[in-house]
Structure 1
């Protein structure tokens, strides 16, 4: 799928960019020129897997991600400012869009891990470390780490893989002071998230966050935060190290794509096939369940 082709036209806004999931628009000023200080961030129902944007969309996914992020921004407000200006948005994208500050984005993927799984597990199994951080011997899939760690990666273009990088590379890229800030905040966001989520029966194994800077250098939390797209959510009562965990995210999609029914080979380079209805329904249900379990609110699209 070409994300650009699915971005809606919005009166009063100029489309400027489409990523895997989000469409960005600049508000048009009274003189007809796009504003440079604000962006309308619209979360679509697109879903990506294995670096492909799939042809099949997940109904209400964009609304879930937007409303969950807004809830988390409130829970994190004492740790770090966020980019939200207003939720007063065009009716066409109501519930799944926010007007935000336009920031100078920090050019690294900021990841914190409280449990070992996914790409971090693969790296650990090869090197005994993750992003250059040595870890204790004997860890297995879903092992809880002694303490949460910061494991940055490159911010790769659409269709390419992010590559893990050490803290030293982050410091070389953005400067030591800013690297210290994003490392500490990323870990604190995951810790706060788990403090809240565990009371609701969810483990947040890891998370990826985005930061930007205002003109005065203030660090600001941007994009989404602690959602099923940016994090791994596991049911706490089912956690058992040694194998992959049940999850609240798009694991249904990944499992179907790599299973026998899809007929798709991950290494083929070909676009993945369309998702069957039952996978779409189960994935939507998991996103909604995550939102309702964490916030205690009933989801309304």
Structure 2
């Protein structure tokens, strides 16, 4: 078994003696009846995994997901955040400390369940084009980052490579059935409302986020990560001012730095400078500190 750790101490890759598949951030191992999810320190932007990691990011994502799973009143896949050492004899657990989740297996719904409380990102781009987001018509005259009259559910396809594609609720329902689609929409909006209220009390606005759901023993459950800076836009409530992009506690900071370079987005991205790595780590840490308290 091996661990790839970069010069700054970020864990980029794990290789345990178990069946494995990897996402942009997580390495997922098959334990038979359960899965072991390891959150690495990898960071992605514009559909590329960057060659430099953010030290400690995996622990922060794991801790924040654990916090939300425990807080939210909705079934989820989390079994334990303890590394199952009995199934990994002889392993050095040190690099994996604080970044492991043992979870129930589930049949994952093939859509990202996105909810937007504010108008930004691809939603803002769509609105500028046609006054709607994922087929939902919005009031005229909204500004960038305006709070929406009410949160909207805007599903997206889950792409193995490249961008997820925003789709209408109707297209989602055609694929998975009306009943499940309506259950997902209701669950997504309810979970978002509860989380947004908690975050607002801590000085954070959750502009938008995405959830993943699965079916386990006929029960709809939350899976993957939940309400982290990787899957959400977090804004400081005391700095909120619609009409332009907001200071954020997510990887928007990395995207903006990449946008300031000559990178063409078609070739491997440049490594992040040490100061960008450090400031990104601070953003993630502040998001965790504010949300968890």
What TM-score, normalized to structure 2? 0.91
User: Following TM superposition, where does structure 1 have runs of at least 4 consecutive aligned residues deviating by more than 4 angstroms?
Assistant: none
Partners of 2:275 and 2:287 in 1: how far apart? 18
Q: Does 1:21 align with 2:25?
A: yes
Partners of 1:6 and 1:278 in 2: how far apart? 19
Residue 9 of structure 1: how far off its partner (Å):
2.7
- Structure 1 residues 103-162: Cα deviation after superposition (integer angstroms, max 9, x where no partner): 10000011000000000000111111111111110111110000001000111113x111
Q: Does 1:50 align with 2:53?
A: no
Q: Is the 8 A contact 2:215 2:221 kept in 1?
A: yes
Please show how residues 159-170 of structure 1 align to structure 2 within 5 Å. Answer: 160-170=162-172
Q: Does 1:209 align with 2:211?
A: yes
Task: Pick the aligned partner of 1:290 from 274, 277, 287.
Answer: 287
Partners of 2:285 and 2:199 in 1: how far apart? 15
Partners of 1:173 and 1:42 in 2: how far apart? 31
Partners of 2:67 and 2:124 in 1: how far apart? 30
What TM-score, normalized to structure 1? 0.89
Partners of 2:143 and 2:241 in 1: how far apart? 10
Partners of 1:84 and 1:292 in 2: how far apart? 22
- Structure 1 residues 64-105: Cα deviation after superposition (integer angstroms, max 9, x where no partner): 0000000011111x2x20101112205241201110011100
Q: Is the 8 A contact 2:206 2:233 kept in 1?
A: yes
Gap runs ≥5 in structure 1: 28-34, 297-301
Across the aligned residues of Structure 1 and Structure 2, the Cα RMSD in angstroms comes to: 1.4
Q: Is the 8 A contact 1:140 1:242 kept in 2?
A: yes
Aligned partner of 2:35 in structure 1 is 39
Aligned partner of 2:77 in structure 1 is 83
Partners of 1:235 and 1:39 in 2: how far apart? 35
Residue 58 of structure 1: how far off its partner (Å):
0.3
Aligned partner of 1:299 in structure 2 is none
Aligned length: 275
Partners of 2:146 and 2:12 in 1: how far apart? 40
Q: Does 1:7 align with 2:13?
A: yes
Residue 271 of structure 1: how far off its partner (Å):
1.4
Please show how residues 207-286 of structure 1 align to structure 2 within 5 Å. Answer: 207-214=209-216, 216-259=217-260, 262-266=261-265, 269-286=266-283
Partners of 2:40 and 2:14 in 1: how far apart? 10
